[in-house]
Structures are given as C-alpha cells and as structure tokens.
C-alpha cells in the first residue's frame, strides 16, 4: 500500500472523484502486490510524488482489487502508469522504466 503521504490509494468506487475530477496532472500507478516490476518502480513513483508535490497528484490502484477500472483503461500489463489531465488519459507508460522517462512525461504535460 501507499506509505508515502503524497500518494493516494484509489479504488473503483472513488476513481472518478480522485482522478478524473482532479484539477492537477494525475499519475495513476496500476499495480498488484505479486508484481515484481511494480515493486521495482514503487520507490521511483514515491520520489516523483515528493518532488512534484502540489503540481502532480500521484495515485495507486491495485488491479486485483479494482478490476473494473483496470479493464476500463485496458490495463493488460503492470505496472502501467497512466497520466490523466482534465479527466482524460494523456500518456501511458508500461513497465518499470527509468525515472528520467517519467520526468519527461510529467514535464511535457505540466
């Protein structure tokens, strides 16, 4: 689970209010407890949540517990990092990528 105070745990029930209605660029980390690459990228996601505090909202969604939302966004591989702006997906990054790649995406959409 999200231990960092800047990371919000979202579910099928509150996804629309937490993510789609957010006025801020929002990164949603679609992950699962059993996923090795998800665990590898988690510290990077936490760093980004801290570094972009106030400019980027970071959320985590457990795909095992929230399958409806994962299916809605056609998440087939995890980790999948979806970036939302004005309620729409503006970019998707799949896999445990380097922090620099995620920073480029964030900067492009801020």
Q: Would you name the residues annotated as active-site residues?
A: 35, 38
Q: How far apart are CA 29 and CA 98, in angstroms?
A: 14
101 Cβ contact list (under 8 Å, min separation 6): 93
């Amino acid at each position: 689970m999200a231990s960092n105070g800047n990371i919000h745990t979202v579910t099928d029930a509150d996804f629309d209010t937490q993510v789609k209605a957010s006025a801020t660029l929002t990164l949603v980390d679609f992950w699962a407890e059993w996923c090795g690459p998800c665990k590898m990228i988690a510290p990077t996601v936490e760093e980004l949540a801290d570094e972009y505090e106030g400019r980027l909202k970071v959320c985590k969604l457990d795909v095992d517990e929230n399958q409806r939302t994962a299916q809605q966004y056609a998440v087939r591989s995890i980790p999948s990092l979806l970036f939302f702006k004005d309620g729409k997906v503006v970019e998707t990054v799949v896999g445990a990528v380097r922090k620099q790649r995620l920073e480029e995406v964030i900067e492009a959409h801020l």
